[in-house]
Amino acid sequence: MRDMRAFVLLAGLTALFAVVGQALGGREGMVLALLLAVGMNFWAYWNSDSAVLQMYNAQEIGPQQMPEYYGMVQELARRGNLPMPRVFVIDDPSPNAFATGRDPAHAAVAATTGILRILSREELAGVMAHEMGHVYNRDILIGTITASLAGAVTLLAQFGSLFHSDREREEGGGSNLLMLLLAPLAAMLIQMAVSRAREYEADALGARLCGNPLWLASALHKLEQGSQAIPMAAAEAHPATTHLFIVNPLSAGFLAGLFSTHPPMAERIQRLHAMVNR
């Protein structure tokens, strides 16, 4: 079922690529966009995790550099019967974390210096358990590929006017402008459809993996406040990657709230507290 959902999402993004290409360049534009989408799918499967880590200038660390953080991930991997992922640190004061990779055997987890600074050991364990939950559920491939393809759709729409002559742009200016607005919106809506349900699943599995749902609930409360106080500049520059993070890294605002790829924080925390009372 999960693989089918992944296939449907990728097919939807590929179709969206074709629609944007046709709107901008007719049949030739559609064929070109489809070829680009197929190429992007192939490239993203093998390289999208590295691309996302490079976007955020993530630095890989070992047990010598940060033994407590590395050892925590190692213990969570053991509890989940998962291969040890690569461990990264992002030098950014905004508190956040994400997981990426094409499968559990090629996974990576990353945490910002901001999150390492403000969370207690127990809260950090809850966060990293959440990320390992994404690895266990194999959310990481679809999340990372979606980031690449959604970003590509946005770029295709933004630069689509280059395919038209000045006269064509004048005659079709209204439709082109509409496409520039709708294509990124459609890609964002596809991201939302996948990300929100999977965040709840990763919260529940992470709570069980770390051993205490309240650790993650407390961490989410701090992260919501911290990420709003210190938005992540790199995420603002790459909004197609925001669904990868445990909390929305974008600055607060009407559009950020309307198109959030994350479920409401109050609901996430409430569900974690409910796990304790079962």
Give dist(CA 98, CA 88) in Å, integer. 10
Give dist(CA 188, CA 13) in Å, integer. 10
- Catalytic residue, chosen from 60, 75, 123, 131, is 131
Backbone φ and ψ for 88, nearest 5 degrees, come out as: -125, 155
Torsion of CA 56, 60, 64, 68, to 10 degrees: 60
Give dist(CA 52, CA 247) in Å, integer. 17
Give dist(CA 267, CA 24) in Å, integer. 41
Q: Which residues pair with 59 in a beta bridge?
A: 89
218's tokens: 């407390």
- 224 carries an active-site annotation: no
SS3 content of the chain, % helix, strand, coil (to 5): 75, 5, 20
Sheet with strand 86-90: strands edge to edge: 59-61, 86-90, 107-112, 97-101
**CA dist 84 → 21, 36, 70, 100, 105 (Å):** 41, 34, 10, 13, 8
Give dist(CA 233, CA 222) in Å, integer. 19
Give dist(CA 75, CA 211) in Å, integer. 12
Backbone φ and ψ for 51, nearest 5 degrees, come out as: -65, -45
Catalytic residues: 131
